Amino acid sequence: MIKNLMRGLALSAVLVPLLSATPAQADVLVLPDAVGKLSEAVESRNGYQRTSFRHWNVGLDPADGCHTRSEVLLAEALEPPQITGSCVLSGGRWFSYYDEQTVTDPAKLDIDHMVPLAEAWDSGASAWTAQRREAYANDQGAEGSLVAVTARTNRQKADKDVTDWLPPATGQQCRYVGEWVATKLRWNLSVDKRELEALKVFADGPCENTAVVYTPAP
């Protein structure tokens, strides 16, 4: 499976730009060092229910009438959509980096949890409070936590980890792996053995210079 996932990756490393706007409190690591900070543990899905993660909630600004999904769409729009009524969005333009598609209808976009809710549960969220799971499911404190992508790619991904799914746009896979690791570190989530081995393949190969930028969640 790993060989299939790696096929088509560029041989040169992908370096995520380190912008001056990076928060001062953020940790910045290259992918091999970031992977080395992950904790390995056996995963368990016992007791998982999607409803254990309340989403979408009122978002960052309860007064704007927009829930988290709409706020993410507004934040990631390349061209802002029109807003009518109770935060109903129409028009606008987005770039779905998983498949490098431009989308002009917000209804055709899903908001993907970079680390799926089920995977988060498996990796430590089962022990969290309901309030912390809600914070995770609506996390707008890190750019990579929630991503507007085509509904097709989001549903292909489902609850798979990096061992079993990567974006079909091969040129975006290093970015994806970096944001996956950043999300796991941000929320102190563990990785299982297969997942860690998959991440090491990327970290020791084509994505070794990818920067991982994360801030521990409150």
Using only C-alpha atoms, the chain has a radius of gyration, in whole angstroms, of: 17
What are the domain boundaries of the chain? 2-214
CA distance 201 to 181: 13
Q: Give residue-wise pLDDT tens across range 13-22.
A: 333 344 334 5
> Per the structure block, which two tokens stand in for 206?
């084509």
The torsion angles phi and psi of 103, rounded to 5 degrees, stand at -125, 135
Checking if the pLDDT of 182 tops 60, the result is yes
Q: How confident is the model at residue 142 (pLDDT cuts 50, 70, 90)?
A: very high
Q: Give residue-wise pLDDT tens across range 50-101.
A: 999 999 999 999 989 999 999 999 999 999 999 999 999 999 999 999 999 9
Q: How confident is the model at residue 9 (pLDDT cuts 50, 70, 90)?
A: very low
Checking if the pLDDT of 27 tops 50, the result is yes
DSSP string, 100-155: TEEE--GGGEEEEESS-HHHHHHTTGGGS-HHHHHHHHT--SSTTTEEEEEHHHHH
- Give the per-residue pLDDT at 187: 98
- Give the per-residue pLDDT at 22: 54
